[in-house]
Chain A
Amino acid sequence: MADSSLQIQEAKKGDVCVVTLAGRIDSTNAEQLMARLSTLLGAGETRVLVDMKQVIYLTSAAFRALLVAADEAERRAAQFTLCSVLGQVRELFEMGGLLDAFTIHASSDEAIRQLG
């Protein structure tokens, strides 16, 4: 695929799997994100934190990926949370009516404290 301009990185902080996203999330790359989150949950991760701090913008395709992951986490009794939903990205969550659809922490430190 052409330059997808979405970077997905994972790191373990204790029991928490931190997925750091950077760039734009749109219909050309949201399926990569959905597949990655599904793989993590399928592999048995029970605490997944998606850090949105470096996301430039996102579209409804990204919301679909996150909602699918949240559903899958619920089925597997895993915790699925977001952090650092800021600025323009936060505005887009608001416009989509999705700010209340997820557990959202202010920062990754706070989220890891709560989850860990």
Chain B
Amino acid sequence: MPTDPDPSGRVTISNDRANLSKLQQALERFGQQHGIPVKAVNQLQVVLDELGSNIIKYAWSDGGRHELSVSFGVSDGAITLEIDDDGAAFNPLDAPAPKPLRPGDRPRPGGVGLHMVRQLVDAMAYARIGATNRITITKRVN
């Protein structure tokens, strides 16, 4: 399985959470190659971990081996991440925001990740293309 970006800049991993570190390393490299500010790279690392771990957790229910892939692009002062998986259709834009807290309640973890993702990116789009979920993230880095 390739762990380095292929010529199109796409990195593919199998659906094991430990493999998310390969995406993390690829994004780190991409950021260094393109001189992207560390803070923006770190914010995208959070985004990638949230979306990648969600896919690994929920996209496939058969317990089998599957793949997800990410491509990294930069143009016009913005980074674009495109995350593809062939799991169950899921639009993260439809995920509900975390429930408002009652006074004295401690927040529950559910929904926090996607809530953070929405605040960390400038645009997020979802498309179901045949049997593929594609999430496209754009973040300005100027």
Interface residues, chain A, with chain B CB atoms under 8 Å away = 1-5, 24, 26-28, 56-61, 63-64, 67, 70-71, 88, 92, 95-98, 101
Pairs across A and B, CB under 8 Å, 20 listed: A2-B18, A26-B20, A26-B45, A27-B52, A28-B17, A28-B20, A57-B43, A59-B46, A59-B53, A59-B113, A61-B49, A63-B109, A67-B107, A70-B106, A95-B116, A95-B120, A97-B101, A97-B115, A98-B107, A101-B106
Given contacts A27-B49, A88-B39, A101-B106, contact A60 B116 (CB under 8 A): yes
Q: A1-B18, A59-B49, A59-B50 are in contact. Are A97 and B120 (CB under 8 A)?
A: no
CA distance A47 to B109 in the complex (A): 23
Residues of B in contact (CB 8 Å), total 27
> How many A-B residue contacts, CB cutoff 8 Å?
77
Do A27 and B53 touch (CB < 8 A)? yes
B119 at the interface (CB under 8 A from A): yes
Cα(A27)–Cα(B48), bound, Å: 10
- Contact partner of B46 (CB less than 8 A), chosen from A57, A97, A101, is A57
